[in-house]
Structure 1
Amino acid sequence: MEGKGKGLAMQFEIALFTTTSSSKDGIQAEWHTIKVPDPECPPPSSSPNVVTTIQKPLRPFNEVKVAWPYREHAVIGSRLYSLGGMNPDSEPHVADVCNPEFARFLKVRSFDFSTPDDGWKPVSTMTFPKRFEPACLVFDDKLYVFAGFTSDAYSTELEAKGHGWMEVYDPDLNTWEPLPNPPPEFGFPLCFPIPIYYAALDSKKQILVALNEGARVKATFYVYHVIDRYWTILEPRGRELRPHYPDPVFGKRSIVIDNTIYWGFVLEGYVYVQSFNIDTDLYFHGSLDTQQFLRDSEFEYPCCPMLPLLHLADQTFCLFLFTMVDKMEYDGMVYLNCIVLDISLNPFKDEDEGKQQSKVEFHECDKFCFMGNSSKQLNISLVSVQSYPLRDIFCLYDALLLNQNLQQRT
């Protein structure tokens, strides 16, 4: 069960948003936290690179009834933010529900870890609140929300005013401010284009939004300049988009490190990771066989969460996987596995001249090799796996890294 990755020098804390059941009163939602590495689960040997099982089951730190399993959340300082996710033009998800959560699609709420007994509190209402599962990200301790409009009527209003497709929330002032709309090339009505990937480029003070360009295998990247508040288009347009790659995390927020975007997930017995360098317009791929860490008679559970990679530090990432152990002594126990990975770039090298291959040669190699042996393209090594037994199966909708000052929270 040993991997080749490096152990973690720091401890991180991750918040998990889950749902367990639904009734006429709404959907039961829970928030859990886990620590990586988990102090309650010391490695069974001197090496940290092993699969370890936590015997203590996960217990929620907050439980709430919701009308829809919201998928967009953010962390700023000691506060966790949840964006409403119901379609304002549709009927309630659960029939006969009279719970006030049904008005939540108009609201953003926050949970302060410094005062957990206060529960979730609404913040001020967005300038354009009628959004369905809008995208969101944090930049310079402010919350940016965009897209999610479901009606041409909203789009017409946005286009006429020239702002509002994106807006920003200042937690210090508890105020929202609409921002300039993307350029006309973005496409109208604005309720139609759905970002396929989005990320914060911290080093450049920019927000990156990718949209399909005609065919699904092409995309154009739009850049919002946070300081000067204007949009540009990243040339060249119509870039290849994750060629020859399965895409179950379509439309989710992405990770950017040194102008390289990372995506990853578990699918049919393999951890797949792809990265895209924005500056060089090159892709890198890698995979890891889950048999490296699955126990005897353990297999991928059918309802696995399709969440994007979570970045811990440097080149260390994690993702989540449900598994089941089909052995009599485990009685079909289901586990939530937190898989920690070390991921590094390994550009192709010409064996004779030691030069990096050209872009055309790279994509030809990608075409034939990625779904097979792609380990030479992107190095992926296993750091650790923390395995949590679940008494009750839940659906995992989101995972967020809590801020540095929360890592020592007890």
Structure 2
Amino acid sequence: MNQERVIIFCGHMRDEPFVFSEDDGCCKTTMSWFSILVPEIRSPSSGTAPSSSPLRTLKSTLSPFSVLKLPTRTFFTAVGSNIFIFHDSVNKILTFNNSSGDWKLAPPMNYPRTSPHVIVLDGKLYVIGGLIQPIGGLKFPLPANYCFMEFFDPDIGTWEPLPNPDQPFMDQFHQDQFHQPREMVTALLRDRKILVTSYTESILYVYYIDYRVWTLFSDLSYLSKRNLPHLPCLSNLSKGNFLLSPDMVKSVGVGDMLYRVSFDHVDHPKYLVIQAFNLALDQWFEGCLNVGSEIFGEFNEVLEDGYPCCGLIHLSDQKFCLLLQSSYSEDGNGNGDFDRRRSAYFKPHSASSFYLYSVVLEVSMILDKPRDLAGFMGLNIVVLSTEKYRLVSPLLIQDAMLVDSTFHPSNMLALRCNESLLKEFGMARPSKAVCEELLQQHLVIAKRIWDGPTREELLFNL
């Protein structure tokens, strides 16, 4: 199923310092870019393969294919062989074409945005929300240059504003969600529809790409008059409690389903929790997975992530990929983290190892069992495959996404960008000497992690 499919992600080391630049007033840090293959999948026979026996692979230390000093408030997306890096709220876009190895500045959007939602369809970018609220608040009708959504065609190189939702619709949609993109939920649905909603309110907008019109799910007269397909009126969307605040939730749409993921840090052991909302049934589903036994296996590792910052990456059908990080520490007696949590005499650890897990999950609805006391029906979550990479240091991952085979790890070009272009974008690339020093640090630390602590280091920490 994966056929050498590739995931790219970027982030910075957790101990990486932030540096304020007086030149452009931006806080910057060193961002690393990585490319990995989607794990090989062993399909369960008859859908009954036990989740305790996934295909597991241990990989070598993960190394970045690019290191750039970027403003901390940047976000990226990919279309085909192109990466688009957006300088948040500044309205500058840097693109990289992996086929040609060229960097260049892309045309700016029609309106500056802060962390908007981006949907890719038919090789085009649809950018939604994230508008900077005007002084004095939002006024209707919306100004002509105040476009809630616009799209970019890389082949033509132009941004085109799309129609705004009508005023009656916007009156029903909380303006906080209109301006706070992390409060929004967006998803690409079947029949080329874009959903815009919020988990705090059961109000759903649908944008029909082919017709270029907005409507509400519940506005049946509007849909019938324009001969548009419709979904039932929803009342339960805002009733699904979750473990994360709305600004930490990243949803993905598949068909008529919305999926979101979190970690339950209250209980021990830690659990992966997936919730799904079926738009056609107006029903929530929920399932959980023991991270320690189902993903980490026999290793006494500790989950490093506070929340799944990348969310679920949709692969196909009901198959998803999830990135998560773990750590393993040893005390002076060679005991792992499991003993550390239980012992009052724990000594400072002498060596730590960090790992990135790339996990393929299959998620399916359980329709033959009743709802629980909270109103959820069940989800079945099966681990199909895991690949485990060594990390030099734990990362704060900004985002991850599925890309085409031009970003295959074995074929990656060095992402080089000239200084003048970086300055125009508002970035500063580390000097050649710094890049070489970072590379040497990666190699030294990776060798130390691989070889383990020396005898002198163990004696020193006793």
TM-score by length of 1: 0.76
Residue 220 of structure 1 contacts residue 239 of structure 1 at CA under 8 Å; is this kept in 2?
no
1:96 paired residue number: none
The 3 A distance-change label for structure 1 pair 125 and 177 is same
2:84 paired residue number: 81
The 3 A distance-change label for structure 1 pair 75 and 381 is same
TM-aligned CA deviation for residue 12 of structure 1? 2.0
Aligned positions of 1:228-307 closer than 5 A:
228-235=211-218, 236=233, 238-241=235-238, 243-248=240-245, 250=247, 254-268=251-265, 269-292=270-293, 293-294=295-296, 295-301=298-304, 303=306, 305-307=308-310
Q: Does 1:135 align with 2:98?
A: no
TM-score by length of 2: 0.68
TM-aligned CA deviation for residue 249 of structure 1? 6.2
1:146 paired residue number: 128
Q: Does 1:122 align with 2:105?
A: yes
2:330 paired residue number: 327
392-401 or 149-158, which deviates more: 149-158
TM-aligned CA deviation for residue 242 of structure 1? 5.5
1:393 paired residue number: 394
Deviations 1:95-125 (A, max 9, x none): xxxxxxxxxx211222211133x34x22101
Residue 162 of structure 1 contacts residue 181 of structure 1 at CA under 8 Å; is this kept in 2?
no
TM-aligned CA deviation for residue 143 of structure 1? 0.5
TM-aligned CA deviation for residue 392 of structure 1? 2.5
What amino acid is the match of 1:367? A
| Distance in structure 2 (CA, Å) of the matches to 1:51 and 1:57 | 16
| Distance in structure 2 (CA, Å) of the matches to 1:35 and 1:107 | 30
The 3 A distance-change label for structure 1 pair 49 and 229 is same
Aligned positions of 1:199-218 closer than 5 A:
199-201=187-189, 203-211=190-198, 216=200, 218=201
Q: Does 1:16 align with 2:9?
A: yes
SS in 2 for 1:382: strand
1:223 paired residue number: 206
1:315 paired residue number: 318
1:36 paired residue number: 38
The 3 A distance-change label for structure 1 pair 303 and 273 is closer
Residue 149 of structure 1 contacts residue 155 of structure 1 at CA under 8 Å; is this kept in 2?
no
TM-aligned CA deviation for residue 297 of structure 1? 2.3
Residue 235 of structure 2 contacts residue 282 of structure 2 at CA under 8 Å; is this kept in 1?
no
377-386 or 146-155, which deviates more: 146-155
| Distance in structure 2 (CA, Å) of the matches to 1:234 and 1:113 | 40
Aligned positions of 1:142-221 closer than 5 A:
142-153=124-135, 155-156=138-139, 159-161=142-144, 164-184=147-167, 185-187=169-171, 192=179, 194=181, 195-201=183-189, 203-211=190-198, 216=200, 218-221=201-204
TM-aligned CA deviation for residue 204 of structure 1? 1.3
- Bigger helix share: 2
What amino acid is the match of 1:27? T
TM-aligned CA deviation for residue 340 of structure 1? 1.4
Deviations 1:315-339 (A, max 9, x none): 2111121111123568221111112
The 3 A distance-change label for structure 1 pair 166 and 312 is same
19-28 or 400-409, which deviates more: 400-409
The 3 A distance-change label for structure 1 pair 135 and 298 is same
Where structure 2 has 5 or more consecutive residues not aligned to the other structure, the ranges are: 22-27, 42-51, 219-232, 337-350, 412-462
TM-aligned CA deviation for residue 69 of structure 1? 3.9
- Bigger strand share: 1
What amino acid is the match of 1:243? G
* Larger gyration radius, structure 1 or structure 2: 2
TM-aligned CA deviation for residue 348 of structure 1? 3.4
Where structure 1 has 5 or more consecutive residues not aligned to the other structure, the ranges are: 1-7, 40-46, 87-104, 350-356
Return the match for 1:62 from 58, 66, 73: 66
Q: Does 1:336 align with 2:374?
A: no
| Distance in structure 2 (CA, Å) of the matches to 1:73 and 1:24 | 21
- Indicate the RMSD between aligned Cα atoms, in angstroms: 2.9
